[in-house]
Amino acid sequence: MRISSNLFFQTGLNSINAQQSDLMHLYQQIGSGQRMVTPADDPLAAAQAINIGQAQALNKRFADNREVAKNSLGIESNTLDSVTTLLQDVKTRLIEAGNGTMSDADRATLAGVLKSSKETLLGLANAKDGNGQYLFSGHAGSQPAFVTDANGKVTYNGDANQRLIQADQTRQIAGSDIGTDIFMRATAGARDYVTSADAGNTGTALIGKPVVTDSQGINVGKTFEVEFSNSAAVPPVLQYTITVKDISGGTTVGTPVTADYVTGTTSLNLGGGVQIDFSGAPAVGDKFSIQPANAGYVTTVQKADPLGTLSAGNTTVTDKTASYFGKPFTIDYSGGTVGDPFTVTFYSDNSLATPLGTTTGAFAVGTVAIPGAGVSLDIAGAAGAGDKVTVQPGQPTELNIFDTLDGVIKALTAPTEGDAVKTTAMLNTLGGAIQRIDLNYNQVLTVNSSLGSRLNEIDAIGGNGTLRNLGYTSQLSRLEDLDYYTATAQLQLRQSALEAAALAFKQLQGTSLFNMGSK
């Protein structure tokens, strides 16, 4: 085959250029420390590196989110610590106010102290986080959580949506809490009651703290009203009537019970598992109210056979995402043998007037999950055909701590010296206020405890995130980092190859027919 001189020269130049290109590529690799100067060096590794880099960047974003959550929860915890200390002082002042040796002037002075405490508490309730957002306003972080109207009444001004922070790919953590849940609610699941005396009472009876004597009692969780009246006998006898109402407080349950009041009584049995401390001398027309502090669920058993043994107790929330969670429902039984079917009918509200849907289950004893309700129910005994259990969610009693303080301040500033009726009204107000503030205090402690749990979870997620980041870094190093030993050896090889190509080209330049002829 005949090879032209031009091909000789072009081949030499191409060899030198190729060696120079390879050498330049090695220089770039060594200078940058990267194995892949361009994606063409290793297309598959380049694609993998992009995915891992994105995952690492996302992991870093989650880490930054966790720091934001820790800062916010830390500020909230400090705020709630201050609220706890303040409420302890308020409780002490309320007990002090009930001291019978205090004069009207002393109580007025104490009312001024409590007014100052209310203003301090309002400031804590409107605390801000590190970004200038109000801690307890929900999503409405730009506006104060609580506002005061022209009459001095404090109301919640935020919304009901809790701020969630994405702490990991599959975990959102609440970065703050809603003001109503802290300053206006009792702890979820609490079986406590709060009491109040009617403003028009003319007797000197004192109502005390309610006690749940039977957690399975049929009236636990319902509202009670106690009213005093005279009997029709001659001479009349002072009696009291206990009226039980449903969880809404509007519908009477069963038949009111009337009994004679015995002077010197220290407690009243309200029936159905609830008893209340009571003392003093009530007057005809006096009224007292006993309300459940927590919403919860209230169960009622209707037996087709009065001698049946079916009973239903505590209700436990298991799944808030269930189709009919939060809706009232009835359970209709066809038999009490294990495995016998029952039908669950869900309703739109507690009136049980508008059915929403039905589910079915099998009879069992113990803690039984109710399909579709998102709750489980403690069942005991045996169900007879036609037995029915009604389960209704209630609305929690509003425990607005600011309203409680307003009521106490008003009661302490009203003159009571020498007037037993006014003194009794003041003491009943103080007693009810102490019950409510105790519940508020316990709720603040509960929320503060949950902050610690959330902070611990953030630390645990952060530890996993750190390990995940090390894994990403290791994978990226394997894909991208240059092996300097191999690259240095390749550099020497390419330099030698370039010198050889240049020498060969030089020899090629000296090749001609004249030179060959002279030799």
Q: Note the pLDDT of residue 5.
A: 62
Q: Note the pLDDT of residue 144.
A: 94
Scan for tokens 């004249």, then name that residue.
514
Q: Note the pLDDT of residue 283.
A: 94
pLDDT in tens, 24-62: 777 777 767 777 767 777 788 878 878 888 888 998 999
Q: Note the pLDDT of residue 510.
A: 63
Q: Note the pLDDT of residue 411.
A: 93
| 482-489: average pLDDT | 73
Give yes or no for residue 131 having a pLDDT over 80.
Answer: yes
Q: Note the pLDDT of residue 221.
A: 77
Q: Is 39 left (phi over 0), alpha (psi -120 to 50) or beta?
A: alpha
Give yes or no for residue 480 having a pLDDT over 90.
Answer: no
Give yes or no for residue 153 having a pLDDT over 90.
Answer: yes
At 488, the amino acid letter reads T
CB atoms within 10 A of CB 162: 14
| 143-154: average pLDDT | 93
What fold, for 54-185+433-469? f41 fragment of flagellin, N-terminal domain (1.20.1330)
Q: Note the pLDDT of residue 32.
A: 72
Q: Note the pLDDT of residue 2.
A: 64
Q: Note the pLDDT of residue 214.
A: 84
Measured CA to CA in angstroms, residue 382 lies from 215, 291, 335 at distances of 20, 32, 8
Q: Note the pLDDT of residue 80.
A: 96
Give yes or no for residue 493 having a pLDDT over 90.
Answer: no
Measured between alpha carbons, how far is 67 from 358 in angstroms, rounded to an integer? 46
Segment among 169-183, 301-315, 483-497 with least mean pLDDT:
483-497
Domain residue limits, the chain: 5-53+470-518, 54-185+433-469, 193-295, 297-393
Measured CA to CA in angstroms, residue 343 lies from 173, 390, 403, 430, 503 at distances of 37, 12, 44, 48, 96
Which residues make Cβ contacts (< 8 Å) with residue 308, sequence separation at least 6?
381, 382, 383, 384, 387
| 267-285: average pLDDT | 92
Q: Note the pLDDT of residue 278.
A: 94
The rounded mean pLDDT for the chain is 85
Q: Note the pLDDT of residue 196.
A: 92
Q: What is the CA radius of gyration of the chain?
A: 39
SS3 81: helix
Measured between alpha carbons, how far is 283 from 227 in angstroms, rounded to an integer? 10
Sign of the Cα torsion 458, 464, 470, 471 reads: negative
DSSP 82-138: HHHHHHHHHHHHHHHHT-TT--HHHHHHHHHHHHHHHHHHHHHHT-B-TTS-BTTST
Give yes or no for residue 266 having a pLDDT over 70.
Answer: yes
Which residues make Cβ contacts (< 8 Å) with residue 55, sequence separation at least 6?
472
Q: Note the pLDDT of residue 311.
A: 84
Give yes or no for residue 518 having a pLDDT over 60.
Answer: no
Measured between alpha carbons, how far is 33 from 31 in angstroms, rounded to an integer? 6
Which residues make Cβ contacts (< 8 Å) with residue 392, sequence separation at least 6?
246, 247, 297, 298, 300, 328, 350
Give yes or no for residue 392 having a pLDDT over 90.
Answer: no
Q: Is 172 left (phi over 0), alpha (psi -120 to 50) or beta?
A: beta
| 204-220: average pLDDT | 86
Q: Is 69 left (phi over 0), alpha (psi -120 to 50) or beta?
A: alpha
pLDDT band at 250 (very low <50, low <70, confident <90, very high): low
Percent of residues, the chain, with pLDDT higher than 70: 91
Helix 5-32, helix 484-509: angle, nearest 10: 160
